[in-house]
Structure 1
Amino acid sequence: MSREESEAGVIDAHHHVWDLSVRDQNWISGPELAPLRRDFLLADLEPEARTAGVTATVLVQTITVPEETPEFLQLAASSDLVAGVVGWADLTAPDVADHLAGLRAGPGGEYLVGIRHQVQPEPDPRWLVRPDVLRGLTAVAEAGLVYDLVVKPHQLQAAAEAAARLPELTFVLDHLGKPPIASGALAPWAEETRRLAALPNTRCKLSGLVTEADWGSWTTQDLKPYADTVLDAFGPDRLMFGSDWPVCKLAADYAEVIAAARELTARLTLAERHQVFTGTAARTYGLTVTGSPGPPQEAPCA
C-alpha cells in the first residue's frame, strides 16, 4: 500500500460479526464450516482492519431475524470503526415501510444504510421479482436505503429485472454474485453479471472471492478473470472492496484478502483504486468517514 493510499483510508464495505451466546448462526453447519462456529466480535476484527489501513467498515446482516439489525445499529453507534449497517427486514411484510421507519428512529438508526435478504437459498429463482418483494424493495428505496443482493448466478437474471423495474433503488451485488471460481467457469455468470452492470443503479462488491475458489490452494490468478469481469463491467467507480470477514477465514486471513484485492486492482490508476477501496462505498452508502480526505493525486510526470 502506497503512502497516498494509506492516507486516504480504506473502507471495508462488507463484514460480519456474531456472538453465539446471544444467538445461534444456524447456517454454520457441517465439518467444512466448523472453523466459523465460534464468536467473532468487533474487537477481533479491529486490530486486523487497522493493520490493513481500514478506517471504516460496513457491518452486514447474517441471519433473517428482526432482532439482529437493532443490535448492529447500537454496535455501530458505540464504535469508531463501523460507519454503516446493512440490516434485514422482511420485504414481504405489509408493514415493511413502518418497520424501516422504526429502525431509522431507534438507537443508532442513523447508521442504517441498507437492507439485505438471503436470496441465495430461496427456491424460487425469480423471488426478487415477485410482486410482494418488489413492493418491499420500493419501501427500501423510499426510505433512502440501498439494497444488497446476495444471490447465486442462476438468480442474477431476476436481480437485473428487479433493478430495471426500480431505477430509484441502488442495488449492490455482494460477492460478485458468487461465481464458480473453483471450477474456472465464466459462463453464464459473466454474461448475467454484465447484464446487471449495464443498469446505472447497480454496484458490486469485490468480496467473497476466496471462498468461491479452492480454499486450500487458490491463487490470485484464479480470481483474476472474475475480478477483471466486474472491473470492466461496473468500472472502478461502481466497485467497492469488502473483506467478507470472518467468512473469508475459511480460505484466507484478513491481510491475505486485502493483499489479493490490491493485486487484482494493480492495473488501475491511483485515483481508480481510491474509488474501489474508499470512494465507491462512501458514495453508495452515504458514509461519513473520518480520515478519508478524498482521492489521492497522481504524481506529476517528470
Structure 2
Amino acid sequence: MPKIDAHQHFWIFDPVRDSWINDEMLVIKRDFLPADLLSVLQQNGIDGCVAVQADQSEKETQFLLEMAAANPFVKGVVGWVDLKADNLEERLEYFKQFDQLKGFRHILQSEPDKQYMLQPRFQKGIASLQKYGYTYDILIYPEHLPYAELLAGGFPDQKFVLDHLAKPPIKDQNMHSWQKDILALAKHPNVHCKVSGMLTEADWKSWKPEDFTPYLDVVFNAFGINRVMFGSDWPVCLLAGGYEGTMQVINNYCSGLSATEQELFWGKNATLFYNL
C-alpha cells in the first residue's frame, strides 16, 4: 500500500488573495508548486499526495486539477465550489469529468457566522455532494465542533474528514472542551480525521514531541485506526518544523502501532476515503 500525504497545498503567491500569510510567515510567502514538493515526499518515503484548496474560487479548483494532471504523484484534489449557488448541481456535473477531483472544502473557520455550516442553503449543497459522490473536508476551530457534529449527524451517508484535529490549542495545553467535542463528533462513523496541522498549533519555536501526545491519544482513541490519516499541511508546516519535524512527531507516536495499523494510517485510509 503506498504512503499518502492526505493534506498539502500548492499556490502561486498573490499578496492580495493570500493576505492571511502575514509578515511572521515569510518562509511561506512565495510560490509552492509540485516540483518543490516531489523531492520532499521522496526524502520522507511518501508515494503520493492530496492537494487541498487554499482559496475560495473555482479558479483554484482548476489550478489544482492542472497540477494533478501534470504530476502523477498528486493522486487527488480537494477543491472549492460555491455550495450555496443556485447552479451547484450544474457545476458538480461539470466537475465529474475530472477523475482526480475527489471532494470539496470551504474555509468555515473564517466565516463570521459560526453556524454557517447549518444554514439551509449550505446544507442543501452538502446533500448535492452526497448525490455526486464527493467527500467534504471540515476546516474549523474547536468552537465550531458542536456545529460540525450536527452537520455530520444530519448527513449520515456523506463522507466527512476533519482537518487538522480542528486546530486544538496545543500551545496552551488546554484540551478539556476540545476533547469532549471531538469524542461527540467521532461517534458519527461517517467522520474521519486528518492527523495534520499540529505543529503550527503548538509553540512554533520550542515545541517538543511530547506536547502532541495527549491530542494524538484523543483522536486515535476516538476515531479508531480505520478513520485517521496522515497529512503534512505542507508548506504551512514550514512555519514550525517543516516536513521533517512533522514526520518526527508522527513517526515517534506511530512506532507502537502494528504493521497493519501503520498501513491503514499512512495510506490505506486516505486511499479508501478519497477513492485514490
TM-score in terms of structure 2 length: 0.97
- Aligned partner of 1:136 in structure 2 is 125
Secondary structure at the aligned position of 2:109 is classed as: coil
Secondary structure at the aligned position of 2:117 is classed as: helix
Q: How many residues align?
A: 276
Q: Is the 8 A contact 1:9 1:53 kept in 2?
A: no
Tell me by how many angstroms 1:223 deviates: 0.7
Of residues 61, 65, 79 in structure 2, which corresponds to 1:87? 79
Tell me by how many angstroms 1:92 deviates: 1.0
Q: Does 1:102 align with 2:94?
A: yes
- Aligned partner of 1:207 in structure 2 is 196
Partner Cα distance (1:262, 1:96) in 2: 41
Q: Which deviates the most, 88-97 or 210-219?
A: 88-97
Of residues 210, 235, 243 in structure 2, which corresponds to 1:221? 210
CA distances 1:253-302 after superposition (whole Å, capped 9, x unpaired): 21221121111222221111111101110010001xxxxxxxxxxxxxxx
- Aligned partner of 1:18 in structure 2 is 11
Of residues 14, 34, 45 in structure 2, which corresponds to 1:53? 45
Of residues 213, 221, 245 in structure 1, which corresponds to 2:234? 245
Of residues 134, 137, 153 in structure 2, which corresponds to 1:145? 134
- Aligned partner of 1:78 in structure 2 is 70
Higher helix share: 2
CA distances 1:152-205 after superposition (whole Å, capped 9, x unpaired): 001011111011000111110000000000000112101111111100100000
State, as a whole percentage, how many aligned pairs show the same letter: 38
| CA-based RMSD | 1.3
Secondary structure at the aligned position of 2:76 is classed as: strand
Secondary structure at the aligned position of 1:12 is classed as: strand
Partner Cα distance (2:159, 2:78) in 1: 13
Of residues 154, 167, 174 in structure 2, which corresponds to 1:165? 154
- Aligned partner of 1:27 in structure 2 is 20
Q: Is the 8 A contact 1:151 1:177 kept in 2?
A: yes
Partner Cα distance (1:153, 1:253) in 2: 24
Q: Is the 8 A contact 1:87 1:112 kept in 2?
A: yes
Tell me by how many angstroms 1:22 deviates: 11
Secondary structure at the aligned position of 2:47 is classed as: strand
Of residues 275, 286, 298 in structure 1, which corresponds to 2:264? 275
**Any gaps of 5 or more consecutive residues in structure 1?**
1-7, 288-302
CA distances 1:21-76 after superposition (whole Å, capped 9, x unpaired): 698423212x2122211111110111010111111100000010110101211211
Partner Cα distance (1:21, 1:220) in 2: 33
TM-score in terms of structure 1 length: 0.89
Q: Does 1:112 align with 2:101?
A: yes
Q: Is the 8 A contact 2:2 2:268 kept in 1?
A: no
Partner Cα distance (1:260, 1:97) in 2: 41
Q: Does 1:155 align with 2:147?
A: no
Partner Cα distance (1:228, 1:33) in 2: 29
